[in-house]
Structure 1
Amino acid sequence: MKKVLLTLTIILLAAFAAACSSETAETEEGTAGQSQKTITFGVTPWTSTVPPTKIAGLILEDMGYEVKETEADAGSVYMGLSRGDLDVFMDAWVPMHQNYLDKFEGKIESTAVSYPEADTGWTVPAYMEDINSLEDLKGREGEFNNEFYGIEKGAGASIESDEIIEAYEFDFTQVNSSEGGMLAQAQRMMEQEKPVVFYGWRPHTMFNKFDLKVLTNEKGFFETSSVEVITNSELKENAPEAYEFLSNWNITIDEVEKMIVKIEEGEDPVAVAQEWIDNNPEKVAEMKGE
Structure 2
Amino acid sequence: MFSLKTISATIAAALLGAASFSPALAQDAPGEGTTVEMGRATWDTGWFHAEIYKQLLEELGYTVEGPTTLDNPPFYQAVAQGDMDLWVNGWFPLHNTYEDTFSSGAEKVGAVAEGGALEGYLVDQAAIEEFDIKTLEDFKRPEVKEAFDRNGDGKADLVACPPGWGCEVNIEHHLDAYDLRDHINPIKAGYSASMADAVAAYENGEHILFYTWTPNWTVNALVPGEDVMWIEVPEVDLPDMSLADAATLEGVEGCVEDPCTLGFPANDIVPVVNSEFLEQNPAVGALLEAVSIPLTDIFEQNAAMNAGEDDIEAQASAWIEENRDLVDGWLEEARAAAS
- TM-aligned CA deviation for residue 279 of structure 1: 0.8
CA contact (8 A) 1:87 1:231 kept: yes
Q: Which has the larger radius of gyration?
A: 1
Q: Does 1:254 align with 2:274?
A: no
RMSD after superposition: 2.4
Name the SS of the counterpart of 1:60 in structure 2. Answer: helix
**Which segments of 5 or more consecutive residues in structure 2 lack a partner in the other structure?**
1-9, 16-29, 150-154, 237-243, 245-262, 334-339
Aligned to 1:54: 51
Of 77, 80, 88, the residue aligned with 1:79 is: 77
Query: TM-score, with normalisation over the residues of structure 1?
Result: 0.82
TM-score between the two structures when normalised by the length of structure 2: 0.71
Is 2:196 the counterpart of 1:192? no
Equivalent residues of 1:235, 1:243 under 8 A apart: no
Q: Deviations over 1:109-153 (max 9, x none)?
A: 111122121111222223322223333333343432223222211
TM superposition shift of 1:267: 4.5
Aligned residue pairs, count: 263
- Describe how 1:144-223 pairs up with structure 2 within 5 A: 144-145=148-149, 146=155, 147-170=157-180, 171=182, 172-210=184-222, 211-217=227-233, 218-219=235-236, 220=244, 221-223=263-265
Partner SS, residue 113 of structure 1: coil
Which one of the candidate residues 274, 282, 285 is aligned to 2:317? Answer: 274
For residues 182 and 160 of structure 1, what CA distance do their matches in structure 2 show?
A: 19
Q: Is the 8 A contact 1:48 1:260 kept in 2?
A: yes
Determine helix, strand or coil for the equivalent of 2:109: strand
Cα distance, 1:235 vs structure 2: 2.3
Give the 3-state SS of the residue equivalent to 2:36 in structure 1: strand
Task: Measure how far apart 1:30 and its partner are.
Answer: 5.6
Q: Find the aligned partners of 1:200 and 1:90 in 2 and give their Cα distance.
A: 20
Unaligned runs of 5+ in 1: 1-25
Aligned-pair identity in percent equals 24
Contact 1:121 1:201 in 2 (8 A): yes
Q: Which amino acid aligns with 2:267?
A: S
